[in-house]
Structure 1
């Protein structure tokens, strides 16, 4: 799954640490998501969407491998 967390952070000019606080997760979790090494729970995905004031689908998109 691809995500645009880094882009959304840049738009809001916030650090990984700032986003982690807002989302109630560790900075390492944010980093792992940005690197594509961690797929968030539905609750976390919804939190991020609310923080960024966008739809979940604006942040997360499925890749071909996600359908296999």
Structure 2
């Protein structure tokens, strides 16, 4: 199964941000549950202000139990 192109572009953006040192880990609040989430963000700048683009949150618990790798 191929990874969809929009996800590939987002991953490329994430790699560029990492190469340039423009990543941040932010503590945010889950919009549905209100639980704290630790979110990996790319940091950009626009009109002198920082812009945080969220890419995903760190998994609570053991991620090896939460995901099944491709066959």
Structure ranking higher in helix proportion: 1
Instruction: Give the alignment's TM-score, normalised by structure 1.
Output: 0.24
The structure showing larger relative contact order (alpha-carbon pairs under 8 Å, at least 6 residues apart) is 1
Question: Which has the higher Rg, Structure 1 or Structure 2?
Answer: 2
Structure ranking higher in strand proportion: 2
